Amino acid sequence: MRSNFQLALVLSAFGAAALLVACSREDRILRQPPPANQTINSVQVSGLNPGANSMPTPPPSNMYQESAYAVSEGQKLYEQYNCVGCHAHGGGGIGPPLMDNNWIYGSEAGNIFTTIMQGRPNGMPSFRNRVPEYQAWEIAAYVRSMSGLLPKGVSPGRPDHMSVKPSEASTPPQTPTGITGSPEQHQ
């Protein structure tokens, strides 16, 4: 009986913790963020700042990255907009890998959002006028989860399809190289 009581205690503690976490991870985002112009204008893809100006303040972690629902939507959209055709399930192919730590144009959600919308010169198409902004944010959040840059609680736990790699939730966090620093800085 004693062990049963302990078990119940532990379970309820876990349950309470899960509820607390679940509160934000299950949020649906009904109010969309302001237009992306602001984001695009604040995104920088060079770490060189003439005149020793400091790096601009990184954009705050956006709400899509805290919502398991948004990340899961991002995962679906990643398949549906054929991102998977070039970047595979993060390992790359026609396009570069997304699950490693090498970020050509920056690892922040704003960088990835800008990459999706504007395209990049060496083959990344511009999805402007094809992908609505909120979906681009969801995809950006999912892309970050591929290299373990989102909390495990919001990252997809198991693949929906043929298992070709560890799930995003079990991918060890990579330390991004490039201009946007490590994830700890802004989260």
Q: Which residues bind other proteins (CB under 8 A)?
A: 3-4, 79-82, 84-86, 88-97, 99-100, 102, 119, 121-125, 130, 161-162, 164-166
The CA-based diameter of the chain, rounded to the nearest angstrom, is 71
Q: Find the shortest distance in angstroms from Cβ 72 to other proteins.
A: 17
Whose Cβ is closer to other proteins: residue 39's or residue 174's? 174
Q: Find the shortest distance in angstroms from Cβ 54 to other proteins.
A: 31
Q: Find the shortest distance in angstroms from Cβ 22 to other proteins.
A: 26
Query: If you write DSSP's letter for every residue of 103-140 in order, what string do you get?
Result: -SS-SSHHHHHHHHHH--TTSPPP-TTTS-HHHHHHHH
The whole-angstrom separation of Cα 6 and Cα 3 is: 5
Whose Cβ is closer to other proteins: residue 26's or residue 79's? 79
- What residues contact residue 98 under an 8 Å CB cut-off, 6+ apart? 87, 90, 92, 143, 146, 147
Whose Cβ is closer to other proteins: residue 3's or residue 53's? 3
Q: Find the shortest distance in angstroms from Cβ 91 to other proteins.
A: 3
What's the token pair of residue 55? 């790096």
Whose Cβ is closer to other proteins: residue 63's or residue 88's? 88
Q: Find the shortest distance in angstroms from Cβ 129 to other proteins.
A: 12
Packing angle, helices 109-118 and 133-146, rounded to 10: 120
Q: 102 in helix, strand or coil? A: strand
Whose Cβ is closer to other proteins: residue 15's or residue 93's? 93
The 8-class DSSP code of residue 142 comes to H
